[in-house]
Amino acid sequence: MRLSVTTPRGALVDTDVEEVTAPGTLGEFGVLPGHVPLMSALKPGVLVYRTKSETGTLAIGPGFLQVAPVPDQNTATDRVLVLVEQAQAAAHVDKAAAEKELAAADHELGQWKRELDGEYQALLLRRQWAAARVDAAARLSPH
C-alpha cells in the first residue's frame, strides 16, 4: 500500500507500507493491503504505520483518511491518503512541552464556567492535540 500523510504545510510521509493504524472518530482501526475502499474522519491521536523495515509513529490532528485502489496497477494496489490539519513525527515531539500544554488545557477546562461555544471546542481540540503528542512520544520511550 502507498501511504501519504499530508497537512496544509505539505507532505509529511509518502512511502510504501504494510499496515496503518489510525485514530478514527469512532475508534482506532487498522488498514492492511486489500482493504475495502473506505473514508473515515480522524480525531487527534496517534497514527502508526509499518513498512518492511521500520515502524513510524505520528501525532496527528483532526482530518480524514481514505483507502482507495490505485488506478495504475504497476504500483502498490492500494492508496491510503491521510489529510490532517497538523501532524508531527513522534521523534520530533518535545514531550515536556506537550505535557505542559496538556496540563494547561486540562486546568482551563476544569475552570470553564461559560457557555459551551466555539472557544470551548477550540480548547478541547488544543487538549486533544497535546495529548496526541504526549502519547506519540511515550510510544517511543522505553517502558
First to last CA, the chain: 31
Nearest 10 degrees: CA dihedral of 54, 131, 42, 111?
Answer: 180
DSSP, collapsed to helix, strand or coil, labels residue 33 as coil
Looking at residue 26, the DSSP 8-state letter turns out to be T
- Identity of the amino acid at 40: S
- Complete DSSP assignment for 40-83: EEE-SEEEEEE-SS-EEEEEE-SEEEEEEE-S-TTS-SEEEEEE
Contacts of 46 (CB under 8 A, 6+ apart): 23, 57, 58, 59, 60, 90, 132, 135, 136, 139
What is the full per-residue pLDDT of the chain (143 aa) written as tens digits?
999 999 999 999 999 999 999 999 999 999 999 889 999 999 999 999 999 999 999 999 999 999 998 776 565 578 999 999 999 999 999 999 999 999 999 999 888 887 777 888 899 999 999 999 999 999 886 64
Give this prediction's pTM: 0.88
